[in-house]
Structure formats: C-alpha cells, structure tokens
Chain A
Amino acid sequence: MPSIEFTANLAHQTTAPKCSVLGETVRDCLQAVFAQYPALRGYVLDDQNAIRQHVVVFVDGTAIRDRRTQSDAVRPDSELFVMQALSGG
C-alpha cells in the first residue's frame, strides 16, 4: 500500500498522521486520508479541490504534475509526502 506522510507543521493545526492507504492515484490516496480525517482536507486542498497554492505533494521524490485533480499515478509501494512549498505562504 502507498504510504502518505504530512509535514510536521500540519500537526500543530489539525490531525495529520502518517498513513498507509489504498489508491492508484494521488487523488485516491488523499481522499482515503480525508475520509478518515475530514478536517485535514481544507489544509491540503483549496475550495475547488486543487492542491493549495503553497502546498506541494511529492510521489517518490518527484512533485506531482496535476495539482488541479491529482491524477498522478502511484505504485503500491510509493511514498507520498505533503509538504509546505517554499514558494511562499
């Protein structure tokens, strides 16, 4: 199962534990986490369900390409990291 981990800074604001989730895309993985921790959604996605402007998601070390719908593929052993972007915020 892919694993997904969140920047420690999110833990100061809401519940954001490291998880293993089922999913074939980044969107699947994120939605699986949000189903378990609904309050986390608004910290990662904006109100149009895109990745927030100053949040970045890495899959196996590479930033995802589809920030709007998160269709980037993940493998069963992928490691996902949700980080703050240094772009600002």
Chain B
Amino acid sequence: MSTKLYLGTRKGLLEAVRGSNGWEISRMSFLGVQVPMLLPDARDGTLYAAVDHGHFGTKFHASRDGGATWEERACPTYPPKPDDYVEVVNPMSLEPTPWTLKKIWALEAGASDGELWCGTIPGGLFHSTDHGTSWRLVESLWNHPDRAKWFGGGADWPGIHSILVDPRDRRRLLLAVSCAGLWESRDGGESWQNIGQGLRAEFMPPDQAGDPGIQDPHRIAWAPSNPDTIWMQHHNGIFHSADGGKNWREITNAAPSAFGFAVAVHPHDPQTAWFVPGIKDETRVACDGALCVMRTRDGGATWEQLRTGLPQQHAYHLVYRHCLDVTGDGQTLAFGSTTGSVWISDNGGDSWQRLSSDLPPIYCARFG
C-alpha cells in the first residue's frame, strides 16, 4: 500500500503521507519554483524532479531520501544545432520548431537500473542510463522525416507527454505526442513507427481526421498486467485499443463528457479505467459546475459517475493530464486540479476526501 503522494505544482513539490490520521501534507521542496514533472522510481527509491525556474530554465534534481535533500543532476539538453540544419516548420504556425528544451513533460523508468526516458516540448525524447547523470537526445525520432507534421496542441510546440515501457519487453516503447499521435518503437528507440488506426481528430478537415500522425492524445495509460489494452483520453473523445495501440475504437457513451486530460487504469484489471471529465475545449471546467470522476469496469460498455466527496456546486476545477494516479493495488487514487485542490480515494473512487483546497495549481500527481 502506497504511503506517499508527491505533487508537482506551480509553486514547488509537495509530499503527502498516509499516517494514522489519514493523509497529510508533510513537506514542500523547491518553494516558488514550478515542478511540471516528477518520478518516484520504485526500483531504487530515487525521487526525480524536473523544476522550471522560468527565467533560469528547466533543471533536473534527484533525491535519495524521499525529498529531504536534493542534488542537481544533468538536465536533458538538445545538442548543438548543425549549421546545415534545415528547419522543421510547425505546419500550423509556419514557424520553425525550436531546437531547445522548453519543458520536461514526461519522465518514466526504463528497463535497466538507472535507465530513464524523458519526453519534452518541443518534441525531443531523451534517454539516460545513469540515473539522470547524463542524457542523450534520441535522434532516430528527432530526425524522423514525419516530425515535420508535428504541431502543438494547447502549447505552441509539439510535446511528448506519455511514455509507456512494456514490462514484457522493455525494448518496446509507446509514446503519445500532442499533436503527432502515437509512436511505437520495438527496438529500444532505434526506430519508430506512427500507429493508431481508428483515431479521429475533430479539429482537422474531414479528409484528414483519420490520419494517425495528426492526432491529439491527451494521455495514454495501460495496465502493466496487460499492455495490449490501452486507454486514451483524446482531445475529442475516449478511445480504447485491445491490440497494443494499432487499432482503436471510440467510446461514445461516456457521460457527462468525453473531454478531459487524465486517465488511469487499474494495474490488475485493464477493463477498469478512470477519467476526470470536463466541458470540452474552449471552456475547460467541470461539467455543470459539479466535479466527478468517471469509472468503467467493463472496458467502456458502462460508466459510473463518482461524485461522493467531490464538490457539486460552482466547482470549476480542471485536472491536467499528469494529475491522476492510482496505486499498485488499484484501490487508492488521487487527483489534483488547476485550482489547487487534491482529492484522495481509498476505495477505488467510490468516495473521495479532499487533502487540501489551498494548494498551487497541480501539474503532476504520483504515488511513491
């Protein structure tokens, strides 16, 4: 049973612990600094944090004692831009996509001890084999000719926000990119294929709506017990794949809304997934001012609206893509909102308790 919850926020990294009186916030690190991404690495207990100083850029830190003390490690950096480089132009803005780190947007453990994968805006994937002491840009993806089709969704530039590492074969990687759909590697990142038949992009002209390379997956998640079953919260819907992401079917009966950012999957039951719905696109708040979590336990055939303990009047919370997590037993969930509230459920989402309503905007929530 997880006893710690880490929150990356607009104003620092918070730790909450489960004690005899329930969950309590116990520590703040990096006060005043944005923490867009963190990773409690279960393999060796290291806690990693990407911190964004705004003026002074993004830095990468690690703690070997759960956040009591930190040391700065190397930050993923783009190598020098070649003099003969032909600019990759954002097809929407027609501006060159920057060759420099804008944001660390994904961080996951790899196969071997100390191996890490890091997704960024403007679309570079980075790889470390030494606990973040050094990083290498994965040039096979950065130099892929189809990157010329990538564009930003919400952000100005494209970004890798989801990285799944197949526990059965850790050379298989699956990335979700806003906006460039899904990218799969079966050889540890040496080569990449854009996959995702059946996805639908409402924001493109009809004849391009089915193009796998222009999709806007907001987040993908799978159960480690069955990585062939994948759930996706997409910009304009919820999608489900039963074959490792090759083919997708749209789930059209999710209520109150199929719009949102976050998704979590039960670690031992791939048919059970949670989403946090909102009013789509231009509004981006809880539906009807009433916050709920949607849960399916049958692969999307039916849905429950979980509202016990969540505010049901004048609630304008939005939950970002990295702000919903579930523990390894599938029982404890937590999510945090742009308006600084965090809720925790110890019964699979049946009921929720608010940890706090006084926090900075939440960017990332992960159990450790």
Q: Which B residues are in CB contact (< 8 Å) with A37? A: none
Cβ contacts A36-57/B at 8 Å (1 or 0 each): 0001001110111100101100
Mostly, the B contact residues are loop
Q: Which B residues are in CB contact (< 8 Å) with A46? A: 57, 100-101
Is there an interface contact between A47 and B77, defined as CB atoms closer than 8 Å? Answer: yes
Contact of B80 with A by CB under 8 A = yes
Name the residue on B nearest A7 (C-beta): B55
User: Known contacts A42-B75, A47-B77; is A52 also within 8 Å of B99 by CB?
Assistant: no
Q: Tell me the complex Cα distance, A2–B154, Å.
A: 44
Q: Tell me the complex Cα distance, A66–B72, Å.
A: 29
Q: Which B residues are in CB contact (< 8 Å) with A84? A: 55-56
Is there an interface contact between B53 and A88, defined as CB atoms closer than 8 Å? Answer: no
Contact of A62 with B by CB under 8 A = no
Q: Which A residues are in CB contact (< 8 Å) with B81? A: 48
Is there an interface contact between A52 and B78, defined as CB atoms closer than 8 Å? Answer: no
Contact of A61 with B by CB under 8 A = no
Among B53, B72, B99, max chain A CB count under 10 A is at B53
Is there an interface contact between B101 and A43, defined as CB atoms closer than 8 Å? Answer: no
Contact of A85 with B by CB under 8 A = yes
Is there an interface contact between A85 and B55, defined as CB atoms closer than 8 Å? Answer: yes
User: Known contacts A47-B77, A48-B99, A48-B100; is A42 also within 8 Å of B57 by CB?
Assistant: yes
Contact of B205 with A by CB under 8 A = no
Q: Which A residues are in CB contact (< 8 Å) with B100? A: 46-48
Name the residue on B nearest A39 (C-beta): B72
Cβ contacts A74-87/B at 8 Å (1 or 0 each): 00000000001100
Q: Which A residues are in CB contact (< 8 Å) with B56? A: 10, 13, 42-44, 52, 55, 84, 89
Name the residue on A nearest B33 (C-beta): A13
Q: Which A residues are in CB contact (< 8 Å) with B19? A: none
Name the residue on A nearest B137 (C-beta): A47
Which B residues contact A (CB, under 8 angstroms)?
Answer: 53-57, 59, 72, 75, 77-78, 80-81, 99-101
18 contacts between A and B (CB under 8 A): A13-B53, A39-B72, A42-B77, A43-B56, A43-B57, A43-B59, A44-B56, A46-B57, A46-B100, A47-B77, A47-B78, A47-B101, A48-B78, A48-B81, A48-B100, A49-B80, A54-B54, A88-B54
Please provide the 7 A-B residue pairs with the shortest distance between their CB atoms, ordered closest to farther: A89-B54, A89-B55, A47-B77, A43-B56, A54-B55, A84-B55, A47-B78
